[in-house]
């Protein structure tokens, strides 16, 4: 008989970034079903799901509810950096751990969090290197008005200046806002070499539609000039954007058609959010397998165990080793342009001397 272990699931299925939350939830559910049906595992997960519905104020209470009303000590969840930071006090109070399967801005480590998606040395820095070499170093920065956008653009500004470039403009929108008129007008006037887009959800979709219109009427932006770069646009959002996504260059650990990160086999996943949430559950199951009661161990003790997966977790930083893929939307799908790695997650940009090391602080 398999022993049953409660596992918290905390993703928004509605609201501004619902497509991303749904993708992560799908990946986690697939992995739970896989573990539960696999006779090689001596455990079965029982999902304890909560839906914050995109309301950042609901993440901490629902996190506490999972930890208080069930035996779950581990939670797979959160989509935005804002929501991730909101649940840290709840995890500390209730002795829980969060597996965060979404790209983040780095400059954070927590003994309560495993960061299973990419951080800046696995997405932003290689994406900028690609743009500098092929398009130039003068950028325009835009993003959603919260931690992800602020910190990613602050880092991009620092890296760009060190490369001899300049930031021609920088604008932010509230989460969910879709009035991009002023931003696109400025881009049209300033004619940067590329645009780094850190907008989220519908804001990003509206921006790409407006940029497609700009390309249609201004020759400077036609035929691949001034590409839009993204560290968070994934395959699952392309149907919502349509032809306006054509030409976008993105960085991430996985795009459709690549092998599963945790097991190295091809599966029918729809985005990196889905595949990393799936891998998070599988990695946790491997750590708990054959160790009754390990679900209650301190996270540091659990991560010190041997990890056979190529997607190993660094016990010191709690970040994973991941491939780095630069891909471009061509014909409605992401086509990899370059695949590197696997690369060790380096949240403070300290592991490689050749990596720029800007003087940034962690936002509490």
Buried b or exposed e, range 43-80, using 16+ CB within 10 angstroms? bbbebbbbbbebebebbbebbbbbbeeeebbbbbbbbb
Q: Which residues contact 328 (CB under 8 A, 6 or more apart)?
A: 227, 247, 248, 249, 250, 334, 335, 337
User: Is 229 within the bounds of a domain?
Assistant: yes
Tens digit of each residue's pLDDT (9 = 90 or more) over 211-247: 999 999 999 999 889 999 999 999 999 999 999 999 9
- Looking at the fold, whether 130 and 244 belong to one and the same domain comes out as yes
Confidence at residue 174, expressed as pLDDT on a 0 to 100 scale? 96
Q: Which of 91, 4, 6 is nearest to 47 (CA)?
A: 6
Q: Read off the pLDDT band of 359 (50, 70, 90).
A: very low
Q: What is the pLDDT of residue 362?
A: 35
Q: How far is CA 239 from CA 300, 318, 331, in A?
A: 40, 33, 12
Domain range holding 52?
3-118+257-322
Q: Is the peptide bond before 18 cis (omega within 30 degrees of 0)?
A: no
Tally of domains in the chain: 2
Q: Tell me the pLDDT tens digit for each residue of 100-154.
A: 999 999 999 999 999 999 999 999 999 999 999 999 999 999 999 999 999 999 9
Q: Indicate if 250 and 268 belong to the same structural domain.
A: no
> Do 38 and 88 belong to one domain?
yes
Least reliable range by pLDDT among 43-52, 65-74, 267-276: 267-276
Judgement on whether residues 128 and 239 belong to the same structural domain of the protein: yes
- CATH number of domain containing 46: 3.40.50.2300
- Residue 353 resides in a domain: no
- pLDDT of residue 355 exceeding 80, the answer is no
- Is pLDDT of 318 > 80? yes
Q: How far is CA 22 from CA 75, 100, 140, 146, in A?
A: 16, 14, 30, 21
Please check whether residue 361 lies inside any domain of the structure: no
Look at residue 357 and tell me if it is in a domain: no
Examine the domain organization and report whether 176 and 87 are in the same domain: no
Do 69 and 114 lie in one domain? The reply is yes
Residues of the chain with pLDDT > 90, as a percent, come to 90
Q: Is 187 inside a domain boundary?
A: yes
Per-residue model confidence (pLDDT) at position 352: 56
Are residue 198 and residue 334 in the same domain, yes or no? yes
- Domain identity same for 137 and 262: no
Q: Report the pLDDT averaged over residues 196-209.
A: 97
Asked which of 43-52, 186-195, 266-275 is least confident by mean pLDDT, the reply is 266-275
Q: What is the pLDDT of residue 280?
A: 97
Structural domain contains residue 356: no
Domain match, 102 and 191 both: no
Task: Say if residue 184 is in the same domain as residue 307.
Answer: no
Q: Is the pLDDT of residue 176 over 70?
A: yes
Q: What is the pLDDT of residue 354?
A: 40
Element containing residue 155 per DSSP (H, E)? helix 147-162
């Amino acid at each position: 008989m398999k022993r049953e272990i409660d596992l918290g699931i905390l993703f928004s299925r509605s609201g501004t970034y619902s497509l991303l939350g749904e993708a992560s939830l799908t990946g986690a559910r697939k992995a739970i079903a896989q573990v539960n049906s696999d006779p090689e595992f001596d455990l079965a997960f029982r999902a304890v799901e909560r839906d914050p519905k995109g309301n950042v104020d609901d993440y901490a209470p629902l996190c506490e509810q999972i930890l208080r009303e069930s035996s779950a000590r581990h939670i797979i969840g959160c989509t935005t950096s804002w929501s991730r930071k909101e649940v840290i006090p709840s995890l500390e109070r209730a002795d829980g751990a969060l597996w965060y399967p979404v790209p983040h801005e780095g400059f954070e480590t927590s003994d309560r969090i495993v960061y299973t998606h990419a951080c800046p040395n696995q997405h932003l820095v290689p994406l900028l290197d690609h743009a500098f070499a092929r398009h130039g170093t003068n950028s325009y920065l835009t993003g959603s008005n919260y931690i992800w956008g602020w910190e990613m653009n602050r880092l991009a500004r620092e890296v760009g200046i060190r490369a001899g470039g300049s930031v021609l403009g920088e604008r932010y929108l509230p989460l969910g806002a879709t009035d991009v008129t002023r931003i696109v007008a400025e881009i049209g006037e300033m004619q940067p070499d590329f645009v780094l887009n850190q907008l989220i959800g519908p804001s990003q979709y509206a921006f790409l539609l407006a940029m497609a219109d700009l390309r249609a009427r201004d020759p400077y932006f036609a035929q691949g000039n001034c590409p839009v770069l993204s560290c968070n646009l994934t395959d699952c959002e392309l149907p919502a954007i349509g032809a306006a996504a054509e030409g976008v260059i993105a960085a991430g650990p996985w795009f459709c058609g690549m092998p599963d990160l945790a097991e190295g086999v091809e599966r029918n996943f729809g985005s990196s959010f889905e595949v990393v949430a799936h891998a998070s559950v599988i990695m946790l199951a491997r750590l708990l397998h054959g160790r009754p009661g390990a679900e209650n161990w301190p996270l540091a003790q659990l991560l010190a165990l041997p990890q056979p997966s190529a997607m190993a977790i660094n016990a010191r930083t709690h970040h994973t080793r991941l491939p780095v893929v630069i891909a471009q939307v061509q014909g409605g799908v992401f086509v990899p342009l370059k695949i590197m790695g696997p690369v060790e997650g380096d949240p403070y940009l300290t592991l490689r001397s050749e990596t720029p090391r800007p003087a940034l602080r962690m936002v509490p």
